């Protein structure tokens, strides 16, 4: 289900509930600092890189560095707009391919 419209929509719905319904001030994304796919996913979804927590935990007897990302409540309206534009059926062609990428939209917010 990775990188499918359904997976992206599920994350959008979770984020919308956290910010719009529950009034959260921030969401965090933490992953193994070596996990390039997870780090890319965080950026694609509009999270900002905060840094690496070195030797954050021990996993399988080894030190793990964790990359931390955040999305703040004041950033959410712009990120929500990116999700809604991306999820719009008009953003997909007849073959189901996206016309605009979510990552390009969310990263343009940070430029």
Is 74 inside any structural domain? yes
The predicted-structure confidence for 39-51, as pLDDT tens digits, reads as follows 999 999 999 999 9
Q: Are 90 and 28 in contact (CB under 8 A)?
A: no
The predicted-structure confidence for 52-100, as pLDDT tens digits, reads as follows 999 988 888 899 999 999 999 999 999 999 999 999 999 999 998 999 9
Is 73 inside any structural domain? yes
Is 81 inside any structural domain? yes
pTM of the model as a whole: 0.90
Give the dihedral of Cα atoms 96, 99, 104, 109; nearest 10 deg: -110
Nearest one of 111, 8, 51, 88 to 16, comparing CA atoms: 8
Tell me which residue range forms the domain holding 43. Answer: 5-103
CATH code at position 94:
3.40.630.30
Indicate the number of domains in the chain: 1
């Amino acid at each position: 289900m990775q990188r499918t419209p359904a997976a992206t929509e599920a994350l959008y719905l979770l984020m919308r509930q956290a910010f719009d319904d529950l009034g959260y001030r921030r969401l965090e994304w933490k992953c193994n600092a070596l996990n390039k796919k997870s780090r890319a996913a965080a950026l694609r979804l509009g999270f900002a890189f905060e840094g690496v927590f070195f030797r954050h935990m021990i996993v399988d007897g080894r030190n793990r560095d964790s990359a931390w990302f955040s999305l703040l409540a004041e950033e959410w309206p712009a990120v929500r707009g990116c999700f809604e534009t991306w999820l719009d059926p008009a953003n997909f062609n007849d073959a189901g391919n996206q016309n605009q990428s979510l990552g390009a939209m969310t990263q343009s917010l940070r430029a």
